[in-house]
Structure 1
Amino acid sequence: MEFKSRDFSDAARVLKIRGLKVGLAGRPEAAPVIDGIDLDIRAGETHCLVGESGSGKSVTSLAIMGLLPRGALEVRGGSIDLEGVEITQASAAEMRGLRAMRLSMIFQEPMTALNPVLRVGEQIEEVLNMHTDLSAADARQRTLDIMEQVHLPDVERIYRAFPHQLSGGQRQRIMIAMALVLDPHLLIADEPTTALDVTTQLQILKLIAELQARKGTALLFITHDMGVVAEIADTVSVMQNGRIVERAPIHELLTAPKEDYTRKLLTAVPTLAPRAARPDARGGDVLKVADLEMVYGGGGVLRRGGGVTAASEVSFAIGPGRTLGIVGESGSGKSTVARCIMRLIDPTGGAVHVAGTEISRLPRRSLRPHRKHLQIVFQDPYRSLNPRWTVARSLCEGPINFGTPRAEALAHAAELMEIVGLPRDALRRYPHQFSGGQRQRIAIARAVAMKPDLLVADEAVSALDVSVQAQVLDLLDDVQAKFGIAMLFITHDLRVAAQICDEVLVMQKGRVVEHGPAANVLSDPHHAYTRTLIEAAPGRHWDFANFRALDTAPAPGPKGETA
């Protein structure tokens, strides 16, 4: 298939980087973090910078913004030219003048980038107050205008809201509004859609493209998701170990990658093709959920109304060695169901049977003997692992609490480290001494150490880059096969669900709208909402492993153009 490629050769060059080197501050003998990269971005162009975690993508963006952490990283050489201004030589005052006016940045996690004690409207106005002489009334109106441009509903209400009162997608729109309120010439977006569900992600990508086209902004988009790259990029630079190893127009990179590392990234992208069906295991169900209901805020003398229904009439079962995936947008009730099953919250109705015991109504003090039957792997392993404990202590805590002798628990922990692909001597190390993917392996080992009947994985791979994600999915598959564990897999990524799930259950607004074998749900969905989720999956028209566009749909060109 042919592509409609966009030519930017005549467009003004907004950013020119030559020979940029960044290293550890005060340690000239240490290997550079960024090792002599070159980069050009022109007006209106979307340039994607891709690579695994630790490749140097975010450090590059911080260097451009003049935000390298003092005392930790420093520019050792090279130049960063922003429309004639040399960033590496600019003073702090000059950089403050450039930020927001000529270059701006959207960060990955808006909840940590936004001030939790200021209303979001005030935070956008702060940018205007720092860089313009607008009156208070004009600044407020400008703020409301940009909030409307990013398609926020009821802007007067959201103007007065605090960050915690908004959804993830709405918070990200606030970040985009802050970044674009002064029409910068260069916008840097650092993993702005990684933690968002597929439909919200699609909305954010369309919004960025729409505003970029309207204002002619140059965009440096940093991501590890090659599906997103396929949807939005004009040009792609691939980073590995602080160097750019390949650069090409998007269609050339996807169809004829030259470097082995680029091919590795592409072949690691999960597809929507469901895994081969596994036979039903013999024996009773490990988990059986019947008419589960969870209503927040309902009842009580001081509470008015019927509360908010987060889950209603949810029913399913999982047999030994089988995986059921729950998919849906943020707020659909996925995690609520998982927390009810784990009894992290108490369901308001229905029944939950784990290993033959109904646990939904058991008093808290009576739950302890049943906890070993079900374990959970959370999305962020760094927050779920105690930073002050060694890996050995984290892995041994549960078994010891349930009566396993310390020596036996430690020996089993060493075996588990090998099973999850880590060395035995790593037991003496602490969580901060591991990468994100390694920490998730440790979290899985900790869960498996209890020899559970059921493993709940709540967005366990959503924050990982594609190659590490593929490794963790393979690990979960191996662990499940080895120990016969049933798994409940919560995800917003249908591509991931296709790789690991035997059955898929689709939730919308707290209710199950479709449930069946993964092959049926993902290949022949019956419900309109399921079809919407599938259509929103980035890169769905590409066969990344074979470097070709799929024949089942038009091949998307840059910015969604079709051949």
Structure 2
Amino acid sequence: MQFKTRDFSTASRVLKIRKLEVGLAGRPRAEKVLKGIDLDIRAGETHCLVGESGSGKSVTSLATMGLLPKDALEVQGGLIDLEGFEITSATHAQMRELRAQRIAMIFQEPMTALNPVLRVGEQIEEVLNMHTDLSQAEAKKRTLDIMDQVHLPDVQRIYSAFPHQLSGGQRQRIMIAMALVLDPDLLIADEPTTALDVTTQLQILRLIEEMQERHGTAVLFITHDMGVVAEIADTVSVMQKGEIVESAPIRELLTNPQQDYTRKLLTAVPNLKPRPARVVAEKAAVLDVTGLDMTYGGSGWLRRSEGVHAARDVTFDIAPGRTLGIVGESGSGKSTVARCIMRLIDPTGGEVTVAGTEISRLSRRQLQPHRKHFQIVFQDPYRSLNPRWTVARSLCEGPINFGTPKAEAMKHAAELMELVHLPTDALDRYPHQFSGGQRQRIAIARAVAMKPDLLVADEAVSALDVSVQAQVLDLLDDVQERFGIAMLFITHDLRVAAQICDDVVVMQKGAVVEQGPAGAVLSNPRHDYTRSLIEAAPGRHWDFANFRALDRAPAAQGATS
């Protein structure tokens, strides 16, 4: 494993934070959100700020940018110094001038950060028009140049595209171009790769590193993924409950963590070593997918077109008590297959048999009695749970619709809360009153309430920090073991697939390129595409649980054994 070992002791200090306190606006006696943190970042350095959700990472970045939500949070002590400029006492006009020119930020979700009704080229030019005296022609030339620097294909076409016409990775490249177009001294990247698949994530990480070396930018990189930290960090600060509990160079932190909390974060990181194969009794498959095909578009009224083949001849089955994972990049067809199986969309070909019934050709009315046999857990529980319903109502809705008396459904809801390790007195609360991990537990409880034969988990842990992710994976394992449910697990993270899947299907551009037992596919991949996914997994050369580097990547070990 090659760590960054660059020496920044003689480099100029770009950011200095001392005893920074952030609290609730107008409530100086309330408990602080940030409790006197210190931080230094030097020119050309990548400093990673890590910790669980709610630890204060994003609040630190927003305070540094002068973007704390008005009337909600405020700086109540300490200083933030950007090369001699005191940010905490700056006026709104001064901060407006400072942003983009000397300090810039890349947000986690570019689709919400970009204006959906403006072409992306215009949005980059807007930064130049606001902070420079360049002519329109010069601004466009500079925009096309920075778009080329971030390796966007066909920059003339993308210049005129709207955000929704680009992929997630391309949108994130636009955000990077927008942030770096004026060569700022400090770049803050707040979870910029969390929602991206592993190959796109690797491209973005390499791009940030390349742009940093080209422009000499200091980078504050905020993440909960210690695998990403191992790939890019020079130095690391670990945050917990508004405090920095440990700071160290990357090698020192990963090999000799001093704090229990740091060790907890490291040991929670999933690795690429597949779990031991489970032995289950030979039973008929709960889910049998044969020749599944899904084509979007196709024959038009005025002209014929072939359409987009999102899934082509997909075939697999899952036995009771087994977990099959579908892995691949964004656009590979993973979620399309899941939605076809759930009949959220109607497949254009093939057969889907669940619990002995072929469901792909049933009408909505015919399908209704069979819905209880297959349930789904989505990526974002906040959007899949009704915000106006209490937890009790969400958990009881399905059973009551299928004839369970209300009193019995309420009793079962309380049992489900205990099953997912949440207090039963929380049944009367609403989704917004829970953390992201707790909401996902509720979503799992709602799915299990129907006592299904098949559970589909579509990127169910990708938005969670590593420690919560580990808890939810353990919960899914426990639920499956108790009820003997067959599970289809959709993920772009091969490390997660290795921890929970018995079998793996690898998809690329709508087709299955490799499938088999997880141990065989992940340890000794046969297809080049599978190998590329494994090579792109962040932290693949690191044994986080034992605080040591691996001599070889897991895939290479398997290939030579």
Q: TM-score category by the smaller chain?
A: over 0.9
**Cα deviation, residue 366, structure 1:** 1.1
Q: Distance in 2 between matches of 1:503 and 1:302?
A: 45
User: Which position in structure 2 is the counterpart of 1:414?
Assistant: 414
Unaligned segments of structure 2, at least 5 residues? 555-561
Q: Distance in 2 between matches of 1:164 and 1:185?
A: 30
User: Which position in structure 2 is the counterpart of 1:182?
Assistant: 182
Q: Distance in 2 between matches of 1:94 and 1:132?
A: 15
Q: Distance in 1 between matches of 2:476 and 2:186?
A: 41
Structure 2 residue 398 is the aligned partner of structure 1 residue 398: yes
Matches within 5 A, 1:478-557: 478-552=478-552
1:89 counterpart SS class: coil
Q: Distance in 1 between matches of 2:105 and 2:2?
A: 33
Matches within 5 A, 1:425-464: 425-464=425-464
2:507 counterpart SS class: strand
Letter of the structure 2 residue corresponding to residue 170 of structure 1: Q
1:178 counterpart SS class: helix
User: Which position in structure 2 is the counterpart of 1:58?
Assistant: 58
**Cα deviation, residue 2, structure 1:** 8.2
User: Which position in structure 2 is the counterpart of 1:388?
Assistant: 388
Unaligned segments of structure 1, at least 5 residues? 555-563
Q: Distance in 2 between matches of 1:300 and 1:111?
A: 30
State whether residues 281 and 319 of structure 1, in contact with CA within 8 Å, keep that contact through their aligned partners in structure 2: no
Matches within 5 A, 1:30-41: 30-41=30-41
Structure 2 residue 473 is the aligned partner of structure 1 residue 473: yes
Q: Distance in 1 between matches of 2:498 and 2:341?
A: 23
Q: Distance in 1 between matches of 2:402 and 2:146?
A: 56
**Cα deviation, residue 40, structure 1:** 0.2
Q: TM-score of the superposition, structure 2-length normalised? A: 0.98
Q: Distance in 1 between matches of 2:304 and 2:397?
A: 43
**Cα deviation, residue 4, structure 1:** 5.7
RMSD of aligned residue pairs (Cα, Å): 1.0
**Cα deviation, residue 305, structure 1:** 1.0
Q: Distance in 2 between matches of 1:350 and 1:96?
A: 56
Q: Distance in 1 between matches of 2:88 and 2:373?
A: 56
Structure 2 residue 243 is the aligned partner of structure 1 residue 243: yes
User: Which position in structure 1 is the counterpart of 2:9?
Assistant: 9
Matches within 5 A, 1:367-378: 367-378=367-378
Q: Distance in 1 between matches of 2:303 and 2:180?
A: 41
State whether residues 107 and 192 of structure 1, in contact with CA within 8 Å, keep that contact through their aligned partners in structure 2: yes
State whether residues 33 and 241 of structure 1, in contact with CA within 8 Å, keep that contact through their aligned partners in structure 2: yes
User: Which position in structure 2 is the counterpart of 1:210?
Assistant: 210
**Cα deviation, residue 264, structure 1:** 0.2
User: Which position in structure 2 is the counterpart of 1:317?
Assistant: 317
Q: Distance in 1 between matches of 2:91 and 2:183?
A: 22
Q: Distance in 2 between matches of 1:20 and 1:303?
A: 63
Letter of the structure 1 residue corresponding to residue 537 of structure 2: A
**Cα deviation, residue 302, structure 1:** 4.0
2:398 counterpart SS class: helix
**Cα deviation, residue 66, structure 1:** 0.1
Matches within 5 A, 1:68-467: 68-302=68-302, 304-467=304-467
Please give the per-residue CA displacement for 1:316-360, whole angstroms capped at 9, x wherever unaligned.
000001000000000000000000000000000000000011100
Please give the per-residue CA displacement for 1:371-391, whole angstroms capped at 9, x wherever unaligned.
111100000000000111000
1:372 counterpart SS class: helix
Q: Distance in 1 between matches of 2:341 and 2:553?
A: 40
**Cα deviation, residue 301, structure 1:** 2.9
Please give the per-residue CA displacement for 1:164-192, whole angstroms capped at 9, x wherever unaligned.
01000000000000000000000000000
Q: Distance in 2 between matches of 1:175 and 1:371?
A: 41
Give the direction of change, closer, same or farther, for the CA distance of 1:473–1:3 in structure 2 (3 Å limit): closer
Q: Distance in 1 between matches of 2:5 and 2:209?
A: 16
Give the direction of change, closer, same or farther, for the CA distance of 1:222–1:479 in structure 2 (3 Å limit): same
Q: Distance in 1 between matches of 2:285 and 2:490?
A: 19
1:141 counterpart SS class: helix
Give the direction of change, closer, same or farther, for the CA distance of 1:150–1:284 in structure 2 (3 Å limit): same
Please give the per-residue CA displacement for 1:94-122, whole angstroms capped at 9, x wherever unaligned.
00010000000000000000011111111
Q: Distance in 1 between matches of 2:382 and 2:247?
A: 33
State whether residues 281 and 322 of structure 1, in contact with CA within 8 Å, keep that contact through their aligned partners in structure 2: no
**Divergent runs of 4+, >4 A:** 1-4
State whether residues 4 and 250 of structure 2, in contact with CA within 8 Å, keep that contact through their aligned partners in structure 1: no
State whether residues 46 and 219 of structure 1, in contact with CA within 8 Å, keep that contact through their aligned partners in structure 2: yes
**Cα deviation, residue 304, structure 1:** 2.5
Letter of the structure 1 residue corresponding to residue 142 of structure 2: R
State whether residues 109 and 192 of structure 2, in contact with CA within 8 Å, keep that contact through their aligned partners in structure 1: yes
**Cα deviation, residue 281, structure 1:** 3.1
State whether residues 325 and 501 of structure 1, in contact with CA within 8 Å, keep that contact through their aligned partners in structure 2: yes
Letter of the structure 2 residue corresponding to residue 249 of structure 1: P
Please give the per-residue CA displacement for 1:427-481, whole angstroms capped at 9, x wherever unaligned.
0000000000000000000000011110000000000000000000000000000
Give the direction of change, closer, same or farther, for the CA distance of 1:460–1:8 in structure 2 (3 Å limit): same
**Cα deviation, residue 299, structure 1:** 2.3
Between the aligned residues of both structures, percent identity stands at 83
Q: Distance in 2 between matches of 1:303 and 1:422?
A: 56
**Cα deviation, residue 29, structure 1:** 2.1
State whether residues 374 and 453 of structure 1, in contact with CA within 8 Å, keep that contact through their aligned partners in structure 2: yes
Please give the per-residue CA displacement for 1:273-296, whole angstroms capped at 9, x wherever unaligned.
001101133321000000000000
State whether residues 66 and 88 of structure 1, in contact with CA within 8 Å, keep that contact through their aligned partners in structure 2: yes
Give the direction of change, closer, same or farther, for the CA distance of 1:553–1:459 in structure 2 (3 Å limit): closer
Equivalent residue pairs, number: 554
Give the direction of change, closer, same or farther, for the CA distance of 1:4–1:342 in structure 2 (3 Å limit): closer
Letter of the structure 2 residue corresponding to residue 66 of structure 1: G
